[in-house]
Amino acid sequence: MTPLLITNARLLDPASGLDAPGALLVRDGRIASLTGAPAEGAQVLDAGGAVLCPGLVDMRAAIGEPGAEHRETIASAAAAAAAGGITTLAMLPDTDPALDDPALVEFVIRRGEATASLTICPYAAATKGCAGKELSEYGLLREAGAVAFTDGRRAIGSARTMRLSLSYARVFGAMVVQHPEEPSLAGLGAATEGELATRLGLPGIPAAAEAIMVARDIALARLTGGHVHFAHVSTGAALDLIRAAKAEGLRVTCDTAPPYFDLNETAIGDFRSYAKLSPPLRREADRLAVVAALADGTIDAIASDHQPRDADDKRLPFAQAEAGGAGLATLLGVTLARVHAGDLSLRDALALLTCRPAALLGLEAGRLAEGAPADLCLFAPERAWQVKAGALPGKAQNSPFDGRALEGRVIATFKAGRRVFG
C-alpha cells in the first residue's frame, strides 16, 4: 500500500490531549508518524485546515442483517457509517436469529471485515433469543469475539436473570448493557406520559420507568460487583442515580444518543412517526439534564442508537408505528451542535465518540498514536448541511432529524489508511 501523508490538518486526539496543526503519515494501514515527517513516494492529501481525529466508535447500533435485510444490510450500514466518520461499530444482537450462538457472532465479524470499511464488534445476546429467560453461553460467545452482553432494545426484566447475567459477565471480564425501561410500566406506550401524550391521545410511558430500572440494576451491580452499562439514558432522574452510583465507586456506566440531547417530545408534532423512538423523546427539562450530564462527565459515551426501519414500519398510525431512528450519518453533526452551542468543548465531544466508548468496549480503536490503526475521520466543523430523509447514505432513511440544519460535515473517512468515503 502506498504511504499516505495528510498535511495541513488540525490533529485532534482526545485520548492524549493532542490538539495542534500538523501532519500525519500512514504506512501499511497504521499511523507511522504524527510529526509530519516526509515519506518518499507517499500520496499527499492537503486537509485544508480541517480536523483530523480518530475514526468514530459507535457503541450502539442495530443492523437488519441477519433476518431483516429489507431494512438494512451490513454493507449498507457500512456505507452510512463511512459517510458519518464511523470506522468501528458495536452491533446489537436482537437480530433474527439473535446473536446467541458463537457461529453467528463470528459470521457478523466476518461480514464486517468483508466491507473493508467498518469493524463490527458484536454484542452477544444476554439471554437465549433475547427472550429474557435463559442465559446464553457467555464463555463461548466471549471467545468468539462478543464485546459485551445485552438483549438489545429489550430490557432484561427479571431481577434474578439480571443478577445472574452481571455475575457471569464479570467472570469473563465483560459488562451487561441494559435497555433501562421497566417493561410492565412501558407496556405498549408510544410517547412520554404527560400533557402532550394526553392531548394527542397516545398511550404514555412514565419517565419513571427508566429511573426504576436504573435504581434496580444499580442495586444488583452493588450486590454482584458486576459492570452494568445503561444505554440511551434520557431522563434527569436516571442520570442522578447513575451520578450517585459512580460517586460510590460502583461499576456503573452509561451512554446517550443524539435525539435525547437535541430533541424533546414536541418533535413528534402531529404524529410524526420518524420521531417515535425507544425510549421516547422526553420533556425539555430532561433534555437539559442530559446536556448537563454530558458536560460533567456522568455520561461516558454518545452512541448513534441507529435503528433502521422501512417505510411500512413508519407509515402507520403513530401508536402502531415501529420505534427507532436512523443515526449513523448524523452522529457527528448532531453532537457538534452541542459544541457550537457552547455546552461541550470539541475535544470533550470527540472523546465521547472515540476513546471513551473504545475504552468501555476494550478496543484498540479511538486514538491517534504511532502504531495505532489508521482509522481516521477528517471533518469540517463549520460546514453547513441539511438532513434530508430519502437522501441519506445507506438503506435506512427514518431520521428523526429530517429537515434539521447542521454544522459539521465529514470530508473523508479512512479505514486502515484506505479512503472509504469522500
Q: What ranges do the domains of the chain cover?
A: 54-361
pLDDT tens across the length of the chain (422 residues): 899 999 999 999 999 999 999 999 999 999 999 987 777 889 999 999 999 999 999 999 999 999 999 999 999 999 999 999 999 999 999 999 999 999 999 999 999 999 999 999 999 999 999 999 999 999 999 999 999 999 999 999 999 999 999 999 999 999 999 999 999 999 999 999 999 999 999 999 999 999 999 999 999 999 999 999 999 999 999 999 999 999 999 999 999 999 999 999 999 998 999 999 999 999 999 999 999 999 999 999 999 999 999 999 999 999 999 999 999 999 999 999 999 999 999 999 999 999 999 999 999 999 999 999 999 999 999 999 999 999 999 999 999 999 999 999 999 999 999 999 99
C-alpha cell at 198: 394526553
Superfamily designation of domain 54-361:
Metal-dependent hydrolases (3.20.20.140)
Angle, alpha carbons 348-277-295 (nearest 5°): 20
pLDDT value of residue 390? 95
Residues with Cβ < 8 Å from 114, sequence gap 6 or more?
74, 75
pLDDT value of residue 38? 72
Among residues 305, 336, 395, the alpha carbon closest in space to that of 60 is found at: 305
What amino acid occupies position 203? P
pLDDT value of residue 37? 72
Separation CA 209–CA 257 (nearest Å): 18
What are the residue numbers of the active site? 305
CB 221 within 8 A of CB 250: yes
Separation in Å, CA 337 to CA 19, 182, 341? 20, 31, 6
Angle, alpha carbons 178-254-344 (nearest 5°): 150
H helices of 281-388, in order, are 284-296, 311-314, 331-340, 346-351, 355-361
pLDDT value of residue 290? 99
